[in-house]
């Protein structure tokens, strides 16, 4: 009943984008109200679709998905490209958190953007398009459509990160900074997109289609050369690396903080960076064809997690800390998907059902962490937005002692911080420990399994760092003596901003419990025992007892809990009690490690070097070659044909007589040529 | 549904006659009346556009062909043949649309507006002739007809170095035309020679019928002549240096038509003339075409990065994008040449998307040149280092520039993406047949570089701090006429971007009837 209208979910915000773009200034709140109505409509429709799907026949004993499509266009040779929707368990979970969080962010934006005047229209038009991009990507039934919406999101992130790229309220330097950040975000993610596009070509030629139903069909997969699938998955993963800010393309995300904080919340929680993780999860049937690919996925995730966490340790900018934490958490998700896929790939090769089930648990852990992260990261960003809105600065050294002035913000932020730090029973605790457990389990299998042991260690160290830097942020902002900016702050933000915070904090605390009540049954993946087709969801869920038993009988769970508490305690000593001076880790500013972190492990320099060497440098050479060698030859030749020196000068004087003579030469040449030809042809 | 009406009138001839009347009418509107020239030109180009649009709905293809005997000498037959298929239709539509919008966009042209519009209408006549004629003689004449108005357009209405640019444009492309003419004579007379007793018939049909009997060496040599003629026009590296100079000096209207439709004459010629008349020659040259295409793509993109003149950057981007067209053509040929058992329909993919890319590039590049033109006349300079932060003061201009740049760098949802996507896919197919799929790395590099130079250019012109190097106090955003022309193009770009089948449908019927060499 509603499921046939799934396609409307992205179309609604798309239409509202056009409406706001054309008429925004004449509508209430400069288009803000329209944007909220659009997001609300999408959310309600999503809820209806999800409810109908989960209670419908397809999910309960059927094939596990509902899909429908129209032909978009076809390419000679039997290649058909379609436009349509594809709903399964993964789609449901993605739809729920994306549309809900976007809705809350839109409501919050009314308060946050109220002083932007006419610019609000641009903002609300662009965020509507952004939402349309994410929702379209989620419901898409094929890779091409996914790619189109993927790129639309890329465009929107470019526009929104660069929202203040001209006439910035804080002056010219800030404008320049925003413009440069937007450029960097677009070009770096574009590198991944190009890789994704390459994957499309490989898949399209191999399968003659890009529809998920055709590509995930085990018979079709078996008919295609495995090397091609490996190539395609590597290229798709390249796309995910760009979009989800994984090593080595992670460096665009911290710069992206130049945009409004609500945009950061949107990018980090509900849209954009989740798309890469989603792509890997969605493509699982292809990815699990090779354990080696999955090993690489896991490794990239592990490296990303610790690399990003390290850079958050000494950063003074509240938004940058959160940006690094996002990258780090995305690393967890990718790491879990890699570990799960690794086990599943080996399990399928060996026909080991237990191993396949363990792989499915890894998939569940990755998607579950994405789900939880969406809520607590939205909360944290909106909370930081509330702080910045009130203090007018992003530098945590100028804050401090804000807790008393901003009670709701500080409490909700504390919940978010506890969640991401993995404090027991908060949402991040459940999913992070499931991720680490899967990685640990993966290390027991296969000849390269020991690499997962390394990844696990990276993950555990990251968990400690996360707890530390999150509480360092919280203490620096809300505890301790009042900072310079705190004195001048406006106090608590308006209720359009605090109410979304409260709602989100409920989810940020509680979303983890959903796994005890059957969420895992929806976000699991397993090959059907008869057909071999991959089915997402359609499981009962392991239930509360299973998870509580699994987590609390596992000694490593206690290890991560202890590490998290230790991290929080150290942060407390350093930034609230001040009994440990953080400065002693950077004696006289000489610490090399400290400098490395400040320089972001020199990634910005690396990017600059590459774009300089392989971009501008070659371009300069080409330009020189073009002007001197090629054009020089042309001008030299024409000089010798038309006549050098004197007559060449005539050519450039604009004397009409000369042009006429050139035309005459041309005509004469034609006749000579014709005569020669006719003679050659045997005198016609 | 219009079939009954069109059965009564020679509509293809009208597509040539109306611009001709428009050209003559504006030519004589000197003195006081010259300010009305734009309305006359607008009316004639508008009617042409309406006719071209109506042609989309003709079902009976027999109506889309007109044949009049022109010269029937003892040994030579030259006919006035006009024919229209899917390829011609798209090119005719593009021409009619861009000419009309150029007239609208140039509404404020105050320097001898009557001659300006005469030149525009004369160009429309020539372009329509090139895209419709099915006789070599007519084709060549029309080819030359496009050249002369463009020459005067640059040398009368151009920038400071206009005389140099105009003469360079003229000599360069004229030499290319002459080489092409030799090729044309060769195929026509060879067609007569291989069939004893047959007179030299200049029609495409007569040559194509005889092309099976052309010798291998003849085909290879003559294909080289034709290919050179067409490659200069496209233009392909290394025969491209006339283009940036011509564009930098040409007025906006001239640039739009030059890049939007005149460059397509080159690729149109390769597909329509060279591939059909000399199929074996085409196959022999396939690898060389590929190399030229790849060099044009990568070299063109790199050259864009180094440019400081906005218009010159856009001009170089044409070399990159027309390289994509050539790549599609090469892909079709290479697939046939290397596949173990070539599939006739897969072989069509390359040509199909090459045509789409021609159409897409025509639309997109028109926006780009209009935006650059506005930059030049409103701000007094197009030097990127002198600009900056313009989005704050000129929001409409910034929006159009952004749409144009995004479409040109191949953002999905806009028309430019599908041309690139399809061409690279066809090339992937061909490269797989060759066993060298790594070759698509060059295409992916090109996409990357495109994103690079466009985004970088936007950062430096639209964003960041507002420039203080030029006086912005009297600058106004795009005028209503300019805005109208740009908005129409942007809507069309989005329309074909969302639903590429609007154009692909016509191309599909064209390639289905097209004889791919070697199949």
Domain limits of chain A? 288-598, 599-653, 659-684
Mean pLDDT of chain A: 87
Q: What is the pLDDT of residues A185-213, one digit of tens each?
A: 999 999 999 999 999 999 999 999 999 99
Residue B388 lies in a domain: yes
Are residues B241 and A76, on separate chains, in Cβ contact within 8 Å? no
Are residues A77 and B164, on separate chains, in Cβ contact within 8 Å? no
Q: Say whether residue A205 is in contact with chain B using an 8 A CB cutoff.
A: yes
Query: At A646, is the pLDDT very low, low, confident or very high (cuts 50, 70, 90)?
Result: very low
pLDDT greater than 80 at residue B363: yes
**Total beta-carbon pairs less than 8 A apart between chain A and chain B:** 186
Residue B32 lies in a domain: no
Better-scored residue on pLDDT, A531 or A621: A621
pLDDT greater than 80 at residue A498: yes
Residue B115 lies in a domain: no
pLDDT at A644: 40
State the best of A24, A77, A185 to mutate against chain B, taking most chain B CBs within 10 Å: A77
Q: Which of B178, B343, B511 sits opposite A669 (nearest CB)?
A: B178
Determine the structural domain holding residue B495 and report its residue range. 280-519
Q: What are phi and psi of B65, to 5 degrees?
A: -155, 130
Distance in angstroms (rounded) separating the CA atoms of residues A634 and B240: 10
Are residues B448 and A190, on separate chains, in Cβ contact within 8 Å? yes
Residue B316 lies in a domain: yes
Q: What whole-number percentage of chain B has pLDDT above 90? A: 69
Q: Please name the helix (run of DSSP H) or strand (run of DSSP E) that holds residue A87, with its range, or none.
A: strand A79-87
pLDDT at B82: 93
Q: Which residues of B touch A654 (CB under 8 A)?
A: 155, 163
Q: Which of A132-146, A285-299, A580-594, B390-404 has the lowest mean pLDDT?
A: A580-594
Q: What is the pLDDT of residues B93-127, one digit of tens each?
A: 999 999 999 999 998 888 888 889 999 999 999 99
Contact A401, A480 (CB under 8 A): yes
Closest CA–CA distance from residue B4 to any residue of chain A (Å): 31
What is the four-CA torsion angle of A447, A448, A452, A453, rounded to 10 degrees? 70
Peptide bond into A248 cis (omega under 30): yes
Are residues A619 and B306, on separate chains, in Cβ contact within 8 Å? yes
pLDDT at B213: 87
Question: ipTM, 2 decimals?
Answer: 0.94
Q: Which of B35, B24, B18 lies closest to B95, judged by CA? A: B18
Are residues A678 and B425, on separate chains, in Cβ contact within 8 Å? no
Q: Give the residue-averaged pLDDT of B1-8.
A: 72
pLDDT greater than 60 at residue A345: yes
Distance in angstroms (rounded) separating the CA atoms of residues B133 and B265: 12
Q: Which residues of A touch B513 (CB under 8 A)?
A: none
How many of the other CB atoms lie within 10 Å of CB of B420? 26
Q: Which of A459-473, A510-524, B35-49 has the lowest mean pLDDT?
A: A510-524
Q: Give the residue-averaged pLDDT of B165-191.
A: 89
pLDDT at B171: 85
pLDDT at A27: 72
How many of the other CB atoms lie within 10 Å of CB of A543? 15
pLDDT at A662: 55
Q: What whole-number percentage of chain B has pLDDT above 70? A: 99
For the whole model, what pTM was predicted? 0.93
Q: Which of B238, B462, B500 sits opposite A166 (nearest CB)?
A: B462
Distance in angstroms (rounded) separating the CA atoms of residues A185 and A155: 10
Residue in B closest to A183 by C-alpha: B455
Contact A20, A124 (CB under 8 A): yes
Task: Annotate B426-454 with DSSP letters as a single string.
Answer: HHHHHHHHHT-GGGHHHHHHHHHHHHHHH
Helices (H) and strands (E) in chain A, counts: 30, 4
pLDDT at A678: 54
Q: Which of A92-106, A338-352, A666-680 has the lowest mean pLDDT?
A: A666-680
Residue B241 lies in a domain: no
Q: Which of A187, A194, A616 sits opposite B455 (nearest CB)?
A: A187
Query: At A461, is the pLDDT very low, low, confident or very high (cuts 50, 70, 90)?
Result: very high
pLDDT greater than 50 at residue A656: no
Are residues A78 and B345, on separate chains, in Cβ contact within 8 Å? yes
Could you tell me which residues come within 8 angstroms of residue B396 by beta carbon, excluding any fewer than 6 positions away?
B477, B478, B483
Closest CA–CA distance from residue B268 to any residue of chain A (Å): 21
If you count them, how many residues does chain B have?
A: 519
Contact A164, A259 (CB under 8 A): yes
Q: Which of A38, A87, A84 lies closest to A62, judged by CA? A: A87
What is the bridge-based pairing of β-strands B200-201 and B76-83? parallel
Residue B491 lies in a domain: yes
Residue B499 lies in a domain: yes
> Could you tell me the maximum CA-CA distance found in chain A, to the nearest angstrom?
106
Contact A280, A344 (CB under 8 A): no
pLDDT greater than 60 at residue A674: no
Q: What are phi and psi of A83, to 5 degrees?
A: -125, 125
Q: Give the residue-averaged pLDDT of B135-156.
A: 92
Residue B481 lies in a domain: yes
Q: Please name the helix (run of DSSP H) or strand (run of DSSP E) that holds residue A68, with its range, or none.
A: strand A66-75
Are residues B348 and A76, on separate chains, in Cβ contact within 8 Å? yes
Q: Give the residue-averaged pLDDT of A379-389.
A: 91
Binding-face residues of A in 636-675 toward B, CB within 8 A: 638, 642, 651-654, 659, 662, 666, 669-670, 673-674
pLDDT greater than 90 at residue A467: yes
Q: Which of B513, B501, B502, B519 lies closest to B61, judged by CA? A: B513
Q: What whole-number percentage of chain A has pLDDT above 90? A: 55
Distances in Å between the alpha carbon of A346 and those of A241, A283, B35? 24, 17, 79
Query: At A683, is the pLDDT very low, low, confident or very high (cuts 50, 70, 90)?
Result: very low
Are residues B428 and A201, on separate chains, in Cβ contact within 8 Å? yes
pLDDT at A24: 66
Mean pLDDT of chain B: 91
Are residues B343 and A202, on separate chains, in Cβ contact within 8 Å? no
Q: What is the pLDDT of residues A230-242, one digit of tens each?
A: 999 999 999 999 9
pLDDT greater than 50 at residue A643: no
Are residues A75 and B422, on separate chains, in Cβ contact within 8 Å? yes
Q: Which residues of B touch A258 (CB under 8 A)?
A: none
Helix (H, G, I), strand (E, B) or coil at A116: helix
Distance in angstroms (rounded) separating the CA atoms of residues A571 and B282: 72
Q: Say whether residue A558 is in contact with chain B using an 8 A CB cutoff.
A: no
pLDDT at B471: 86
Q: What are phi and psi of A281, to 5 degrees?
A: -65, -45
pLDDT at A654: 46
Total domains, chain B: 1
Are residues A175 and B444, on separate chains, in Cβ contact within 8 Å? no
Helix (H, G, I), strand (E, B) or coil at A476: helix
pLDDT greater than 70 at residue A651: no
Are residues A197 and B447, on separate chains, in Cβ contact within 8 Å? yes
């Amino acid at each position: 009943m509603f499921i046939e209208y799934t396609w409307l979910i992205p179309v609604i915000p798309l239409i509202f984008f056009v409406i706001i773009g054309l008429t925004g200034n004449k509508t209430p709140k400069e288009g803000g109200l329209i944007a909220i109505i659009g997001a609300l409509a999408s959310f309600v429709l999503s809820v209806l679709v999800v409810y109908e799907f989960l209670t419908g026949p397809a999910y309960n004993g059927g094939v596990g998905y509902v899909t429908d499509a129209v032909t978009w266009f076809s390419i000679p040779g039997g290649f058909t490209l379609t436009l349509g929707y594809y709903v399964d368990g993964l789609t449901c979970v993605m739809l729920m958190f994306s549309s809900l969080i976007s809705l809350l962010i839109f409501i919050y934006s009314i308060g946050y953007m109220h002083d932007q005047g006419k610019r609000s229209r641009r903002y609300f038009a662009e965020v509507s398009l952004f939402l349309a991009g994410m929702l379209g990507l989620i419901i898409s039934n094929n890779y091409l459509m996914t790619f189109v919406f993927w790129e639309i999101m890329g465009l929107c992130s470019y526009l929104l990160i660069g929202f203040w790229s001209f006439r910035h309220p804080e002056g010219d330097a800030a404008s320049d900074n925003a413009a440069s950040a937007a450029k960097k975000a677009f070009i770096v993610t574009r590198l991944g997109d190009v890789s994704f596009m390459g994957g499309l070509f490989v898949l399209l030629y191999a399968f003659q289609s890009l529809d998920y139903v055709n590509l995930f069909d085990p018979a079709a997969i078996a008919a295609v050369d495995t090397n091609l699938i490996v190539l395609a998955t590597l290229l798709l993963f390249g796309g995910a690396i760009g979009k989800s800010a994984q090593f080595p393309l992670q460096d665009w995300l911290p710069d992206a903080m130049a945009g409004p904080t609500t945009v950061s919340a949107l990018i980090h929680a509900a849209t954009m960076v989740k798309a890469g993780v989603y792509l890997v999860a969605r493509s699982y049937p292809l990815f699990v064809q090779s354990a080696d690919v999955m090993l690489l996925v896991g490794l990239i995730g592990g490296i990303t997690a610790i690399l990003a966490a390290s850079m958050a340790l000494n950063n003074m900018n509240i938004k940058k800390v959160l940006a690094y934490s996002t990258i780090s958490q995305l690393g967890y998700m990718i790491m879990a998907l890699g570990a799960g896929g690794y086990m599943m790939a080996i399990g399928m090769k060996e026909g080991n059902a237990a191993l396949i089930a363990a792989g499915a648990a890894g998939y569940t852990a990755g998607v579950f962490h994405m789900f939880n992260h969406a809520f607590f990261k939205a909360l944290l960003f909106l909370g930081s937005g509330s702080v910045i809105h009130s203090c007018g600065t992003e530098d945590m050294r100028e804050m401090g002692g804000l807790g008393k002035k901003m009670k709701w913000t500080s409490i909700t932020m504390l919940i978010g911080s506890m969640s991401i730090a993995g404090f027991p029973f908060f949402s991040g605790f459940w999913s992070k420990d499931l991720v680490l457990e899967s990685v640990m389990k993966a290390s027991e299998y296969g000849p390269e399994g020991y690499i997962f042991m390394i990844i696990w260690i990276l993950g555990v160290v990251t968990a400690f760092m996360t707890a530390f830097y999150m509480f360092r942020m919280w203490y620096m902002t809300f505890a301790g003596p009042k900072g310079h900016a705190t004195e001048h702050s406006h106090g608590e933000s308006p209720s359009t901003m605090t109410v979304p915070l409260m709602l989100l904090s409920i989810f940020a605390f509680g979303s983890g419990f959903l796994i005890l009540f059957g969420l895992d049954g929806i976000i699991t993946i397993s090959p059907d025992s008869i057909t071999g087709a991959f089915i997402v969801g359609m499981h009962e869920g392991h239930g509360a007892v299973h998870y509580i038993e699994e987590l609390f009988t596992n000694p490593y769970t206690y290890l991560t809990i202890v590490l998290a508490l230790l991290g929080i305690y150290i942060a407390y000593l350093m930034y609230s009690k001040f009994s440990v001076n953080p400065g002693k880790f950077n004696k006289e500013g000489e610490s090399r490690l400290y400098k490395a972190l400040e320089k972001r492990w020199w990634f910005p320099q690396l990017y600059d070097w590459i774009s300089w060497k392989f971009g501008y440098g070659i371009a300069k050479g080409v330009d020189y070659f073009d002007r001197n060698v090629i054009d020089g030859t042309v001008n030299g030749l024409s000089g010798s044909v038309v006549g050098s020196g004197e007559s060449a000068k005539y050519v450039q004087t604009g004397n009409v007589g000369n042009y006429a003579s050139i035309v005459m030469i041309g005509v004469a040449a034609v006749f000579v040529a014709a005569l020669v030809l006719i003679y050659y042809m045997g005198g016609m | 549904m219009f079939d009954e009406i069109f059965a009564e009138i020679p509509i293809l001839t009208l597509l040539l006659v109306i611009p001709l009347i428009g050209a003559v009418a504006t030519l004589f509107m000197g003195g006081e009346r010259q300010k009305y020239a734009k309305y006359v030109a607008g009316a004639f180009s508008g009617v042409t556009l309406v006719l071209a649009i109506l042609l989309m709905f003709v079902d009976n293809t027999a109506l889309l062909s007109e044949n009049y005997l022109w010269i029937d000498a003892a040994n030579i037959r030259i006919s006035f043949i006009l024919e229209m298929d899917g390829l011609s239709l798209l090119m005719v539509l593009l021409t009619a649309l861009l000419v009309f919008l150029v007239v609208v966009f140039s509404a404020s042209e105050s320097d001898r507006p009557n001659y300006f519009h005469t030149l525009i209408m004369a160009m429309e006549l020539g372009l329509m002739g090139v895209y419709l004629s099915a006789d070599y003689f007519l084709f060549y004449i029309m080819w030359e007809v496009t050249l002369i108005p463009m020459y005067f357009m640059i040398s009368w209405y151009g920038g400071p170095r206009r005389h140099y640019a105009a003469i360079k444009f003229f000599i360069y492309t004229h030499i290319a035309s002459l080489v092409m003419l030799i090729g044309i004579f060769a195929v026509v007379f060879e067609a007569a020679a291989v069939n004893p007793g047959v007179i030299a018939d200049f029609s495409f049909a007569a040559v194509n019928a005889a092309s099976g009997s052309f010798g291998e060496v003849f085909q290879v040599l003559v294909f080289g002549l034709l290919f050179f003629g067409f490659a200069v026009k496209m233009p392909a590296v290394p025969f491209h240096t006339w283009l940036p100079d011509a564009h930098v000096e040409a007025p906006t209207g001239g640039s739009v038509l030059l890049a939007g439709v005149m460059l397509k004459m080159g690729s149109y010629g390769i597909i329509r003339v060279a591939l059909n008349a000399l199929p074996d020659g085409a196959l022999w040259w396939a690898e060389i075409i590929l190399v030229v295409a790849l060099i044009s793509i990568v070299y063109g993109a790199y050259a864009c990065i180094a440019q400081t003149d906005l218009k010159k950057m856009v001009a170089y981007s044409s070399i990159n994008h027309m390289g994509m067209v050539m790549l599609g053509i090469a892909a079709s040929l290479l697939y046939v040449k290397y596949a173990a058992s070539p599939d006739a329909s897969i072989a069509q993919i390359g040509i199909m998307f090459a045509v789409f890319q021609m159409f897409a590039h025509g639309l997109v590049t028109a926006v780009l040149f209009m935006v650059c033109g506005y930059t030049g006349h409103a701000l007094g300079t197009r030097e990127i280092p002198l600009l900056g932060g313009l989005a704050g003061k000129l929001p409409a201009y910034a929006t159009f520039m952004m749409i144009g740049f995004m479409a040109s760098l191949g953002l999905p949802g806009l028309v430019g993406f599908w041309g690139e996507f399809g061409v690279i896919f066809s090339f992937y197919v061909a490269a797989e047949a060759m066993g060298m799929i790594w070759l698509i790395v060059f295409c992916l590099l090109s996409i990357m570089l495109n994103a690079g130079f466009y985004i970088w250019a936007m950062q430096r012109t639209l964003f960041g701090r507002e420039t203080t190097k030029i006086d912005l106090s009297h600058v106004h955003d795009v005028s209503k006429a300019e805005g109208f022309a740009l908005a129409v193009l942007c809507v069309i770009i989005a329309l074909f971007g969302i639903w590429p089948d609007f154009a692909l449908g016509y191309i599909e019927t064209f390639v289905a009837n097209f004889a791919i060499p070697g199949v």
